[in-house]
Chain A
Amino acid sequence: MADPVGPDEVRAVAEAALELPGADGVEVLLMHEWGGLTRFANSAIHQSTGREDTGVRVRVVTEARTGVTATNDFSKEGARSAAASALEMARVAAPDPLYPGLAQKAPVPERPGGFDEATAATTPEQRAEGVAALVGELRKGFRAAGAFETGAVEIALANTEGQFCYAPYTQSTISTVVAGGDGSGTAEKAASRVQDIDPAAVGARAYRKARESQRPQDVEPGRYEVVLEPMAVDTLVSFLSYLGFGGRAIAEGRSPFSGKEGQRVCGPSIYIYDDALSPDTIGIPFDFEGTPKRKASLIEEGVFVSGVHDRRSAKMAGTGSTGHALPPPSPEGAFPLNLFLQTGDATVEQMIAATKRGLLITRFHYSNVVHPIETTITGMTRDGTWLIEGGEIRHPVKNLRFTQSILEALSNVEMIGRESELASEFFFAASRVPALKISSFNFISASDH
């Protein structure tokens, strides 16, 4: 659909903004993205799209005052115009007493294999074949809905301190809900390379869950042991990150981890870290200020280690940036985009066998925060929930609403899966997490399906 513009043209556009007179510092974030998404429902392709977009986001600083202007006019003129607009805004802004300066020139680590030509060049016909293979796994009476997306991004950061970073990367994701009768199931897969996606396997897994979800029965809300599959675990880890791991929130006392450095916050088997450089995730080797990425340990042996920082929150905390800045303006500060929950040694089957009376949960739906400091969230189960009794799956159950503190749940982890899965978000944020067995999880009400 489109070709990369390459680092030379990116640098040329960036330099048009960096030449802005009258500024103490200029930073330019550039992006070029293209790809397609084949969306299907009722086992037919119904809303497929192709898209190419560009972005030039200029941050201008003068006397510690900052203005930001973004445009998708990816040209020297567009960059110059955005820079001038950002300077106009900076001049009316109040000085930031915590302005940390722009990132200094520094080498960015290599991240080989991030860009795959075949993924970038995937055609609508190839995606349609993939969807057909997925749908081909279903038997009569079941239908599939979902999306198969392939895309490529070039991202670059340049500033007047001489830093220039450029990284192309690709991403492919497929996800589906298979439904029929009175049950449904889901599965997904994300990878850098489309060749690593097996649509038929995803379809088969979702279909199996849908078939095994038929005739769900009521169960009473209350506290249950749970076996959470990776998609459900991702909800816990992602919300915990949203509520707590940002260095600014921690410094300002708004995080559940404020003042908790070095303290036990959950069970000793829990390790959470962020690592954009790992080949097991989809990431880029620098952040949106141009700071090189590195692995950041967040929780070790259940003890909170540290949050993540951009340059400003690092200055607040008296430390250095961990390379987790978001695109400007980012009032909430830094955020980890490549989380890992460390694997253990159990299989899901072993977790089920070790459960006296509990629930096997595929995923949660439409979760939201109830109490941010207590890390309490609420949400629904969806697309495959089963009652376990005596170490065996008894029958599917109707969906339940949970209201649960994440840190309490992570304090009650009894077993951790030995396999992990990458749960992809819209951008390149992704969590790689295993299944968990948790001894107590709070369900407060039930739905009718």
Chain B
Amino acid sequence: MLEVAQQAVDAARRAGADYADARFVSTESETLTVRNQEMETLNRGLSQGIGIRVLTGGYWGFAATARTTPEDIERTAGLAVSIARAASRLPMEPIRLAEVAPARGSWSTSVLEDPFTVPLDEKVALLMEASRRLQGVPGVTFGEASMDFLRRRSSFASNEGAAIEQTIVHSGGGIEATALSDGEMQRRSFPNSFRGHIRAAGYEHIRTLGLVEETERTGREAVELLSAKDCPSEVTTLVLDSNQVILQVHESVGHPLELDRVLKMEEAYAGTSFVSPEDRGKLRYGSDLVTITADATLAGGLGSFAFDDEGVPAQRVTLIDRGIFQEFLSSRETAPVVGGRSTAAMRADGWENLPLIRMTNINLEPGEGTLAEIIGDTKDGIFMTTNTSWSIDDKRVNFQFGCELARRIRDGRLAEVYRNPNYAGITTQFWGSCDAVGGAEEWVLWGTPNCGKGQPGQVARVGHGAPPARFRDVQVGVR
């Protein structure tokens, strides 16, 4: 399909584009959900088309179509140029793109077992068994098991000479137990909430998850939560499991360091950022233990690729180094505005959307010690695991996040269970209070497949690696 992308670039140039790139994208998906041994969803999807992006007179235009005959492509390329010309109705400083060597090459996710060729009945049987076992735990009202697979093939061409073909494959699975009683509803998920653990991998990832093996514990914890006390309201020491640390990284580090937000390009919708370009190298974002990277070169992340969606090679970038803010997530357009180079963070949701600055794999780098050692080193506090809810203001300062389960830490040991736990804080104060970060042995690369941004709305699949971590003087049990 590289030829189609090249045709589109040529058509855009004929229509008057100074710069043009085009992405032909084909996305296949498969979703399976079993609840109480009934098939809730069993569906496949295919979406393909072409998106054409142009710069004309220093203004962007973008048009996309599912209809890809030569005539449709010609018409769509012309529309992209018309859109760019219309943008000049409101004058601004012309857009200049950072120089980048035109890339040519191909890349694919490393896959041992193609998830789309694994027989459907094998997948259904595994989910049915997991659901059956969850349902068998006394007190469980709903036992759900799910799998999701995605394969996206993209071909990128630009008039600068870039010619890139990439194929990404994502596989994920999870289980969820729901217990209901007397106006209270509690859920426990494994390995993570919101449909489990999704990685850039093939079906071999599903085989490592232990979905059936973890049903008993998952179901039991959901039932136990029903009769637990609500998380007390207090200021205390908070230990977060790896699967909640990534939510904290996503909302209070990843988003505020997107340079388009900083430059107020997202002001009307997602919001802006408390971070400014002048903060680079100066702003204390967290404690010395907090080092956060953006690494699209990692294997297995939902933000892993070889080239971003404007053809810039994938990179590993240190965003926060030992607590000090260093770098933004940026693009060819935005990086020169603050005197830098693109950090290769431009990603589009399918063929039909223009690329935006998105997270890649944003990771809290490991420190030392296991979760057990961090808890053992905590005299009194609360441990929380598995995200349920998130809310943060438009500059990413004031946040409140909820989890599925909490436990009191007393004299270095996990004690009673609390339900409906949540915690709140102010971004830099919270990261500044971090006094323990778990080691590499506890570091997990998770997937967040539901990150929304942009108008029209786009959903990005991003990766986050993190170990457990500890934070002091945190407000928990917010009412």
Contact = CB atoms under 8 A, between A and B. Distances in A.
A362 B82 CA distance: 36
A370 B423 CA distance: 11
Contact of A368 (B91, B121, B389): B389
Interface stretch (B43-51, B313-321, B370-378): B43-51
Given A46-B87, A48-B86, A444-B478, A90 B42 contact: yes
Given A124-B86, A147-B455, A403-B400, A367 B265 contact: no
Nearest to A88: B120
A1 B92 contact: no
Contacts of B85: 124
Interface string B68-90: 00000000100110111111011
B455 A39 contact: yes
B266 interface: yes
A89 B31 CA distance: 11
A71 interface: yes
Nearest to B390: A368
Contact of A54 (B43, B67, B178, B395): B67
B424 interface: yes
Contact of B89 (A129, A145, A371): A129
A123 B90 CA distance: 16
Contacts of A93: 39, 42, 124
A157 to B, nearest CB: 17
Interface string A46-72: 111111111000000000011111111
Contacts of B64: 49-53
A46 B86 contact: no
A366 B392 contact: yes
A371 B76 CA distance: 47
A426 B457 CA distance: 7
A44 interface: yes
A46 B187 CA distance: 43
A94 B128 contact: yes
A401 B398 contact: yes
Contacts of A401: 391, 393, 398, 400, 424
A37 B63 CA distance: 10
Interface stretch (B54-62, B236-244, B282-290): B54-62
A216 interface: no
B420 interface: yes
Contacts of A446: 398
A442 B352 CA distance: 41
B82 A124 contact: yes
Contacts of B392: 366, 380
Contacts of B353: 49
Contacts of B420: 370-371
A309 to B, nearest CB: 17
B43 A42 contact: no
A48 B87 contact: yes
Contact of A47 (B34, B184, B265): B265
B351 to A, nearest CB: 9
Contact of A403 (B42, B426, B478): B478
B66 A128 contact: no
Interface string B24-53: 000000010111011111111111110000
Given A49-B83, A89-B120, A369-B389, A135 B42 contact: no
A399 B398 contact: yes
Contact of A328 (B43, B46, B141): B43
Interface string B405-425: 000000000000000101010
Contacts of B229: none
Nearest to A442: B479
B271 interface: yes
A113 interface: no
B267 interface: yes
Contact of B44 (A50, A70, A328, A380): A70
Interface string B95-136: 000000000000000000000000011001000100000000
B66 A69 contact: no
Contacts of B40: 329, 331
A42 B264 contact: yes
B268 A49 contact: no
Interface size class of A (residues with CB under 8 A): 35 or more
B92 A366 contact: no
A85 interface: yes
A334 interface: no
Interface string A389-425: 0000000000101010000000000000000000000
Interface stretch (A171-179, A191-199, A284-292, A298-306): A171-179
A70 B45 contact: yes
A125 interface: yes
Interface in B250-277: 263-269, 271, 274
Between B42, B76, B354, the greatest number of chain A beta carbons within 10 A of the residue's beta carbon is seen for B42
A71 B46 CA distance: 5
B65 interface: yes
Contacts of A369: 388-389
A382 B59 CA distance: 30
Contacts of B142: 252
B444 interface: no
B180 interface: yes
Contacts of A442: 479
Contact of B39 (A50, A66, A124): A66
B449 interface: no
Interface in A89-121: 89-90, 92-94, 96-97
Contact of B38 (A41, A94, A131): A94
Nearest to A188: B268
B402 interface: yes
Interface in B450-466: 454-457
B435 interface: no
A52 B267 contact: no
B66 A74 contact: yes
Interface in B125-166: 128, 141-142
A82 B444 CA distance: 37
Contact of B264 (A41, A67, A127, A135): A41
B266 A68 contact: no
B185 interface: yes
Contacts of A92: 42, 120-121, 124
A370 B402 contact: yes
Contact of A72 (B46, B271, B455): B46
B394 interface: yes
A100 B274 CA distance: 52
A378 interface: yes
Contacts of B63: 49-51
A339 B352 CA distance: 29
A295 interface: no
A169 interface: no
Given A41-B266, A88-B120, A176-B268, A125 B89 contact: yes
8 contacts: A41-B268, A45-B87, A53-B49, A69-B44, A70-B46, A96-B39, A147-B455, A331-B35
